[in-house]
Structure 1
């Protein structure tokens, strides 16, 4: 299965010895992206990086990313923030109780502070230590996922470029459909994270501000103690975690079928 139409810059960057960084959440899109990248990028120019969210992410996500990188003979690093999402929310409530404590779709500090920032920090260290002057940051974002992601440029120069390192962003599987993603994983003889077999549509945090109700319910059923922590922090801050502004307990509540209720 091929990549999204390759930008003309990519073969040139490969030839010039750029470092291609495969961001890997442990989810299906990251997994398929790495499979596709391995078909065209020399392993010596590839780096797999996982932004660890600790116990707030699905168990096994880090291990899946690490195992896939190891099997391919590609270096793997973990980027960790100095705080967790729950700590960030609690701190924001303490310092600015008058504003919403949780991240939102428009102010996604969880992405910038817990993922993007730590990843860029670790990639800079790796690039400096290994003599790379050009970095191509590869993200498994697909147009099918949302209108916002559909509008993303598949390839662009990043604003964080400076006199030391030039950065590009590339979305190698931007035009893939979900069936292609799972097909790619299966064709490679691999399996996606077990959360998908439970019915999850996406994978990252067990409870994400942008998760579907389906995914939140699955997470609640598997991790009730974590659900209790989120609910307690909602009560403490007076703000809800989810972008729907519905309390997490209500979002994850399993409704009885109407016919069962009628029979009582």
Structure 2
């Protein structure tokens, strides 16, 4: 929202500004490099694709004819797709000769189903997480993440139990390498009783590349969120915001001792939460354990 306001707000003569949706939409339309679909415009064509003379590759050639006319811009991937449609999956010989590389096959780009695996060990996605974790009725399902310090050089790990919002912190004074995060997770999770070790949900950060080793050591399966989907760890995201009151952004997080983190955890777990009917996470966890 802040980027949208900054880009499309209306600034007055005295430096005051206001935001008007119709004016903002007009500014956004004026910056678009291409016209809206369905408008009457001449057919774009890629320059330089001539078998009789060497020319540029498709990517720089795609923009040549329309460099001064926004409606003539075309993405080079569109050119490749058009050629493949004509050649039914394989470029015809005369078309292949027009390309700089001469390759007759096109490797698809930016297809999610063809991406390389994120980690060496296969990931279990959040859609395969146990169904009992969704309704928060059964304790023992955790969400985890790292909050990063100044220049990305330090971090603190956060664990939040989904049913009670109970918080645990990982002490990472020596950095956030994969082995360090794995060892801190194992050390922290092993302090829990067995019925509170059901699952862990994390994002696809590189610090969890040793997730299989963590699962073998603790018998806790790890589920991964979809890319760019922080709402799938909503409890953890909310807790990270509360935690920033104690460990501000752009500071060195390695200076916080284990004792200080324990004091922060005690305060967070003793804070009444509206979502818990104004009970604290510690009180709710105690009730569940007693039951």
TM-score, normalising length: structure 1: 0.30
Q: Which has the larger radius of gyration?
A: 2
Ranked by relative contact order (alpha carbons within 8 Å, sequence separation 6 or more), the top structure is 1
TM-score, normalising length: structure 2: 0.28
